[in-house]
Structure 1
Amino acid sequence: MTKKPEKRKAKSGKELRWGVERRMEFIEFRLFWEGKINRRDLIEKFGVSTPQASADLGKYQEAAPENIHYDIRAKCYYPDKGFKPKFLDPDSDRYLANLLSLSSGIMTEEESWLYSVPSYGVLPQPHRGIDPGRLRRVVGAIREKLAVQIRYQSMNAPEPEWRWITPHALAFDGYRWHVRAWCHRGEAFKDFVLARIVSIRLTKGHDLDPTEDVEWQEFIDVRIGPHPKLTDTQRTAIELDYGMEDGELVIPVRRGFLFYFLKRMGLDIDPNVRQPKHQQIVLLNQEEVEKAYSLSEEGHS
């Protein structure tokens, strides 16, 4: 028996099929970020017919008459002054993520919802090659709850070595992907850099309870604030930059991620080593963080 298309309730209170709702979101995305939309946009993006594109724009106009008006000369729809999204929550992160995806080649301009892509630049990062076949086997081991024998190049050994691990999660530190796993040799939970897995040989059953990985399960609230030696206006700028409230921002971090988090944020060194304008932020609960960090130092391979 064929399953009927799933229906979702839009903000307008009406139920729409997922495909239609998606196009309503696209209409609002273009109206909000590009300032206009026409039938051709819907046709090219979703492959719908001209009548369907017209119907979608008519449906949107019916749902939000105060949001949109049609310019006969330009043959385009434009947002009204009182435009308030009904199907989409405008999100700066989503817009900028489109630019990042374009820059990395993950997404093409045809796949992106952006139309007029602004000039932009992204700091290049070295490509860290992860073999898709080995990644598939690691993901499969996580899904099937298996131990896997990997040939791994650790920085603690001169040559790659075979070892058994039982993976239970993937982790990204901002630069590299890791697999979080029980190390049979070290009898401890550790992070293994996926790109350093040279080859995979065998798998076997292994009972593992991921909740026993305390460093993965436990979170610590890292409290950061502007460097105290900044001027008042500089401190205000940093508070706005990080979205701080009352001079601080609380960031929950997995205890096993503290090593990567502190390093990436430049919080792994004495804040007095660099000038305040370069350091900019400091730990407000340094003693608590250092205590948690000292318990997690051995979890990297």
Structure 2
Amino acid sequence: MNTSAPVRDQALLDRLPQAQRERLAYIDFRLYFLGELRRIDVADRFGTGPAAATRDIAQYRDMAPSNLELDNSDKIYRPTEQFVPLFEHAPQRVLTALSRGFGEGIGEELRPMVRCEFPIALAVPSMSVLAPITRAIHRGKVLRMTYTSVESGRTEREIVPTALVNNGTRWHVRAYDRRRNGFRDFVLTRMENPVLLENSPIEDKEKVDQDVQWNRIIELELVPHPRHPRREVVMMDYGMPDGVLRVKVRAANAGYMLRRWTIDCSPDHSLEGLEYALWLTDPLALYGASNAHLAPGYVDPKGGAETRPITAM
């Protein structure tokens, strides 16, 4: 199938109501990634009747007549060899839908659309902790909680949460810490009894636009590790036909990302092992990043190899 053609009838799609676009996108998704579509698939997903599902499929066919054909043997629509997706499907969203369901299921029930396996989450935050944090972020409120850290043990904190962050192994919240008078990362599983302080005003210095590390964007240039025996495999794995992968990341998250992907950040690409598939060509790009010490092999140009504790890992 041709997957590189541009989205067609974009102007018409833009004029449709959001609910209509969602139904057409779902039809497009099932044809593209599952290779089949039934009227009942649309009706069940959106809670509409068979007649409404028929109208949606007819509209899709009007917009992309060469994308689907009816298999009369089992009354299933299938993509044609000329199929070109009508919508752009973001890879991360597609993989989430295929592995965890396209919005189906409630509670802890997961309904993957194809057989799929993904890493077990060993550290999962309590919903009674997560909910007050997300409310505080959304409403711009101060949060009081008990927090246990490696450095300070168990203490009472007032924080101003600004963003949730997943570092690849666990969730934490970026927040202004009134105890330390600065922005810090707080691991959700180390929090107890978070409570919103409805009447506690937030000062200008506590707002996200004052978080220098969060707002500073670093561009990292990554290349296949010079010691890796199969450069071409690394290029295929990371989609880098010209041999370079350029990534933009917040300074506040750079160390987490580089550690998660085991990227060699030593000045002389000295780390050994197949796990180091990529090398950061310019480690000085990390200079000033608060968690640069988490990056494998990183050497502080002012003071040698970093040895500070991993406070949010």
Structure 1 length-normalised TM:
0.81
Please name the residue that 2:31 is paired with. 31
Correspondences of 1:1-301 after superposition (within 5 Å): 11=10, 13=12, 15-86=15-86, 88-101=87-100, 108-109=110-111, 114=113, 117=114, 119-130=115-126, 132-158=127-153, 160-200=154-194, 203=197, 204-207=200-203, 208-231=206-229, 234-267=230-263, 270=266, 271-275=269-273, 277-289=274-286, 291-293=287-289, 300=311
Say whether the 8 Å CA contact 1:152–1:199 is kept in structure 2.
Answer: no
Aligned residues: 278
Cα separation, partners in 2 of 1:177 and 1:145, compared to 1, 3 Å: same
Deviation of residue 107 (structure 1)?
6.0
Cα separation, partners in 2 of 1:13 and 1:27, compared to 1, 3 Å: same
Say whether the 8 Å CA contact 1:215–1:296 is kept in structure 2.
Answer: no
Say whether the 8 Å CA contact 2:223–2:244 is kept in structure 1.
Answer: yes
Deviation of residue 10 (structure 1)?
6.0
> How far apart are the structure 1 equivalents of 2:20 and 2:179?
53
Say whether the 8 Å CA contact 2:252–2:291 is kept in structure 1.
Answer: no
In structure 1, list runs of 5 or more residues that go unmatched.
1-8
Q: Deviations over 1:132-174 (max 9, x none)?
A: 333333333334433332211011134x111222222222212
Look up the equivalent residue of 1:274 and give its one-letter code: E
Secondary structure of the 2:275 match is helix
Deviation of residue 267 (structure 1)?
2.9
Say whether the 8 Å CA contact 2:220–2:246 is kept in structure 1.
Answer: yes
Deviation of residue 94 (structure 1)?
2.9
Say whether the 8 Å CA contact 2:9–2:63 is kept in structure 1.
Answer: no
Deviation of residue 268 (structure 1)?
6.2
Say whether the 8 Å CA contact 1:101–1:107 is kept in structure 2.
Answer: no
Deviation of residue 120 (structure 1)?
2.8
Look up the equivalent residue of 2:179 and give its one-letter code: R
Cα separation, partners in 2 of 1:20 and 1:181, compared to 1, 3 Å: closer
- Greater mean alpha carbon deviation, residues 264-273 or residues 167-176: 264-273
